[in-house]
Structure 1
């Protein structure tokens, strides 16, 4: 009897629940058919549970987002909108994020974005619809970052649960999603994060024969180096112990001339094109990873959902690479991690402005809710750029309150432009217009996942030689702090930073970061690449820039192929197969194989091998006629200055000097017997010597010459003839150039022995 009663009660509950669901409808804002001018924001899903739409109009209302929906039945519904007043947390005057909800073209009586410092369901009142099919629109009123997560229609009038859990059971039920996610895989390597490090890992792993899933929660690739954030990519590539590392990054990296650069400089389309060209990569843009499954010390899967449809997928794999920047996957998997309590670097939201046409409306709304700024309170955005130092959140919660950090940055930018347009800068900026503000933040520091080596500043400064050192870090140890002169007015959260550089890093060759920083010490099949690798806060100052992070990804991808081939862990690559990894690191970036068991092929368009200090910017001596000896292989005495400003040089640059003690000697051996022209390469300039002394010695024969380096060199590749000599094979000689008595700078670049036919 008792069992029958329980069964009846459960059945009744299911019926009631189904009935309640039949009279409700959840409409996710990101699922609107036409987004209009509203932007999809996926940065804060782990904070508030969902993507949302943002009216980022720089002070001008954006175009409506619209969609057509079918309600369960006609009649009267109560409507709730999940939103917030984004400046309420600061008790700021005004409500900049105001917007309306239109039903069949008519606004509800309530204006949204006007209540609550936290995300919550704003009761919009009742609406009666004569038809089940209605048009819904988000109608922005300000252009100042109004935001909408979702809209809920209910006949009962009861407010929905205000949950911040990602894809909660209630939300899945309302959306009709299966409780079990769709299965994807199994992959050899699942890469989470589509910035430079994630792209490097995915492309490298795919070209070495791994089947790869690349999961990115934005619509574009590149992370901080995309058109959404517009940080130019820094860090020298293709140099050091393994100058092939970085060739993949060279294929897609930006070449922006400023930071922030122009949208087109960041090549979003090129990045996606290169990734999609790899048959071994399945690319999942607009997919946010939020959960993992683990078996003991190994990850088994990562669960992600489509940020437009909410459909969720489970990606299973042999290996995983956390390239999220925040160490999100490692954190979810309970990998060991660290994060500074105080003194972290912050998040940037850069911006740009321009001069408008004289007859164009250039007014800018007053912003009483923004930071209260005058021109003296911020560095003037010269060259029309609010650069990297518009940064805040140093001691704030970089994970749990990233939205608050971003919003504080927006208040700073809008407050500054308000000062330029409406306050003490108004007379000088009458035709100024705000052209771009990054709503996607550029974070620098949060969690770091711990590996078998935790790289320290002392390791880098002392040039500690790890046997697995591989990725060259060439950026200085660059740490950011609030800039005092601008922080005094806003001590709680300063918004202008200063960079403090330690110049101990070799900017040309680079410090080789060890491979053991790129995998977790306690999750056996988890790699990491990017700013969440195993380093201290101080060491992060040099490893965090994008091209360096991208090279980490290249190493991870190659190491993953070794793991697949030998069915081993990332740690085993160091313990047992380091020589195999070294062999792969010497391969061109475009080397490829279909599977990890196939033969590696080198395509004809592989890049030319760079040297230990980077790609050769000048003429390659190995590709020139005859025997060419560059100045880097000569014997120098006295003081010489290196240069590369005059183009047409051989190798990596040239040398010049006025030091009376300066001399440079090019020793050579004849490659064969015969007659040879001996030539000297230089580049002319008005400050060069007009009587530079040159000595040519062959056996017991000495020839003296002078060269007027103010005039162009007459021969191909900027050489001049010093004389013709009959040489025996392996006969030794040298050419020596001195600066004393040169009549200006003595310039040396290379010598050439050219056989006379």
Structure 2
């Protein structure tokens, strides 16, 4: 009898334990992840996707140039009513000791604490307290900027379980994020294309248009709302290089000319002068091109030594799409698709013993040309003020930059930052230089600048150099048409000098290790011609590349990186892809078996 009672108690205990466990699981399932970039009304906040490959998502940036931006708002529905604990992912981007990116979150009628100015480095999840939800549907969230100085919010997480803390480890967080957003392992496939072009700068646009006019079905994927890359209203760098100088192929350059919007110079306050609409109109007119703006391609599917598909995510909605292709061209600048596919690549400067170049260093290193964020101030009838910026770079009467606009030499990177893993820190360092100098001008040269006001600061970085993908040929300083025999496949004239940048001497004196100004060291050489073999990967069978990430040495890259020249690369890739498909071969096969036909096309025959 006693034994039976014990058995009954044990069963009751087990049942009670099961009920409690079930309640715990149910409680843990009451959770909700809101990506800030998915807010319905973004107000004055900007979607910033530049660091997706580093942090796994886009985020919202309060880019107000010193004035608080308009609120971002959205409405959400909670899984059920009850108590929820809150975490918000953000970053104090300038903790010197406390940064200026302060903002707050309002849920319904309740404001949470302030975020973004903690004095801690790096992206993190911060506790935001808790809230009791009485009506689960149509709860309004409001992101309220408090400074206008680049506050940023990645995501907001709600859970009914206080111990359900979101992961900070990026690998864990990426899978956790995909699960909560309901992203499937096999996203929707957007057809199968002859050529998938990743990157919508001049190189990518010219690749897509040339392939389209050659009869190919093309997908053009661009991770911003506009085309043009560095030559867009977002970055505002003018086109350089020449189309006709020493160009032996009359058909080469037609697309570049068609897209060329003249020379508005750098940092022009009139963003329309960079021709965003013109570029998009030309692309949209092409019946064979499917244009996908705001899609960031971040992963690949491989089939042996070939890319089968790329996976892209919308930078605001987080919708994922899959793009299958016969051929792919990496026009990302960073060579990110090639890198994901396992393409051979380089980063930094080669040694003189390796390349034999007179401009090479004695030893190899990781030095890269930098990134620019342009800015502009205009004169107005009314006066204006600008706050002191203790968190920015500190300028004095002994050293400041006098003038109402920037130029190309406002540049950060070099060997102070890694151009790939520290791209956000590079942009933010540019911000600290821009705002620190402008604060000095407004507060110490008041008579001169009292009527001037910042009216444009580019938050998208104009990057020069990072990863280079290796082809069957590596273009170098040794390629000089007037001294060496010309390569049989040398088509694209490099009309820009070998233009390499280094930290400016005076800037180094005052900001050693934190330089943000550059000097250019030019070596003027007669135009050499980039071989076709620099435009396809030597180990990924169906991967082309066009743009600043082609197969060159660091030294020769100094003459290949300008945008009219990269546009010519794109045209050659478009024609070569059409030949590869016509003859059932690959990129290398075009060189080995059909080079004369490619020359004939480029001659317009």
Q: Please give the residue correspondences for 1:215-294 in structure 2 after superposition, counting only pairs within 5 Å.
A: 215-239=221-245, 240-261=247-268, 262-294=270-302
State whether residues 43 and 70 of structure 2, in contact with CA within 8 Å, keep that contact through their aligned partners in structure 1: yes
- Higher RCO, 1 vs 2 (CA within 8 Å, ≥6 residues apart): 2
**1:682-705 CA deviation, whole Å, 9 max, x = no partner?**
xxxxxxxxxxxxxxxxxxxxxxxx
SS of the equivalent of 1:377 reads coil
Instruction: State the partner residue of 1:321.
Output: 329
Distance 1:292 1:111, change over 3 A: closer
Q: Please give the residue correspondences for 1:21-100 in structure 2 after superposition, counting only pairs within 5 Å.
A: 22-88=29-95, 92-100=96-104
Instruction: State the partner residue of 1:487.
Output: 508
Distance 1:166 1:210, change over 3 A: farther
Aligned residue among 211, 218, 234 for 1:212 = 218
Mapped partners of 1:416, 1:354: distance in 2: 16
Mapped partners of 1:165, 1:335: distance in 2: 22
SS of the equivalent of 2:368 reads coil
Considering fraction of residues, name the structure with more helix: 2
1:304 partnered with 2:312: yes
1:348 partnered with 2:372: yes
Higher mean C-alpha displacement, 158-167 vs 169-178 = 158-167
Higher mean C-alpha displacement, 316-325 vs 159-168 = 159-168
Structure exhibiting the larger radius of gyration computed from Cα positions: 1
Shift of 1:93: 3.5
Mapped partners of 2:420, 2:345: distance in 1: 13
Identify unmatched segments of 5+ residues in structure 2: 1-17, 349-364
Mapped partners of 2:94, 2:67: distance in 1: 18
Shift of 1:12: 11
State whether residues 375 and 420 of structure 1, in contact with CA within 8 Å, keep that contact through their aligned partners in structure 2: no
Shift of 1:200: 0.7
Shift of 1:41: 0.4
Distance 1:437 1:14, change over 3 A: farther
Instruction: State the partner residue of 2:357.
Output: none
Instruction: State the partner residue of 1:429.
Output: 449
1:528 partnered with 2:545: yes
Q: What is the TM-score with the length of structure 2 in the denominator?
A: 0.90
State whether residues 42 and 50 of structure 1, in contact with CA within 8 Å, keep that contact through their aligned partners in structure 2: yes
**1:348-383 CA deviation, whole Å, 9 max, x = no partner?**
11111111213x4x11011100000135434433xx
Mapped partners of 2:556, 2:20: distance in 1: 58
Mapped partners of 1:184, 1:141: distance in 2: 41
State whether residues 64 and 137 of structure 1, in contact with CA within 8 Å, keep that contact through their aligned partners in structure 2: yes
State whether residues 76 and 128 of structure 1, in contact with CA within 8 Å, keep that contact through their aligned partners in structure 2: yes
Instruction: State the partner residue of 2:581.
Output: 564
State whether residues 21 and 174 of structure 1, in contact with CA within 8 Å, keep that contact through their aligned partners in structure 2: no
1:148 partnered with 2:153: yes
Instruction: State the partner residue of 1:449.
Output: 469
Mapped partners of 2:22, 2:291: distance in 1: 41
SS of the equivalent of 1:109 reads strand
1:582 partnered with 2:586: no
Distance 1:251 1:118, change over 3 A: same
Shift of 1:298: 1.3
SS of the equivalent of 1:550 reads helix
Mapped partners of 2:460, 2:91: distance in 1: 18
State whether residues 93 and 369 of structure 1, in contact with CA within 8 Å, keep that contact through their aligned partners in structure 2: yes
Q: Please give the residue correspondences for 1:399-478 in structure 2 after superposition, counting only pairs within 5 Å.
A: 399-423=420-444, 425-460=445-480, 462=482, 464=484, 465-478=486-499
SS of the equivalent of 2:88 reads strand
Distance 1:515 1:77, change over 3 A: same
Instruction: State the partner residue of 2:130.
Output: 126
Distance 1:428 1:129, change over 3 A: same
Mapped partners of 2:400, 2:528: distance in 1: 36
State whether residues 238 and 247 of structure 1, in contact with CA within 8 Å, keep that contact through their aligned partners in structure 2: no
Mapped partners of 1:377, 1:581: distance in 2: 55
Instruction: State the partner residue of 1:335.
Output: 343
Instruction: State the partner residue of 2:352.
Output: none
SS of the equivalent of 1:460 reads coil
Instruction: State the partner residue of 1:173.
Output: 179
Higher mean C-alpha displacement, 470-479 vs 453-462 = 453-462
Mapped partners of 1:523, 1:159: distance in 2: 41
Shift of 1:164: 2.5
Mapped partners of 1:375, 1:331: distance in 2: 46
Aligned residue among 385, 390, 399 for 1:363 = 385
**1:318-371 CA deviation, whole Å, 9 max, x = no partner?**
10100000111111111111111333211111111111213x4x1101110000
SS of the equivalent of 1:160 reads coil
**1:520-542 CA deviation, whole Å, 9 max, x = no partner?**
11111110000000111110111
Distance 1:126 1:563, change over 3 A: same
Q: What is the TM-score with the length of structure 1 in the denominator?
A: 0.72
Shift of 1:116: 2.7
Shift of 1:512: 1.8
**1:431-488 CA deviation, whole Å, 9 max, x = no partner?**
1211111110011111111111101112137553111111111111110000011111
State whether residues 343 and 481 of structure 1, in contact with CA within 8 Å, keep that contact through their aligned partners in structure 2: no
State whether residues 79 and 124 of structure 1, in contact with CA within 8 Å, keep that contact through their aligned partners in structure 2: yes
Instruction: State the partner residue of 1:710.
Output: none
Shift of 1:115: 5.2
Shift of 1:170: 1.2
Aligned pair count reads 566
SS of the equivalent of 2:115 reads coil
Instruction: State the partner residue of 1:735.
Output: none
1:549 partnered with 2:566: yes
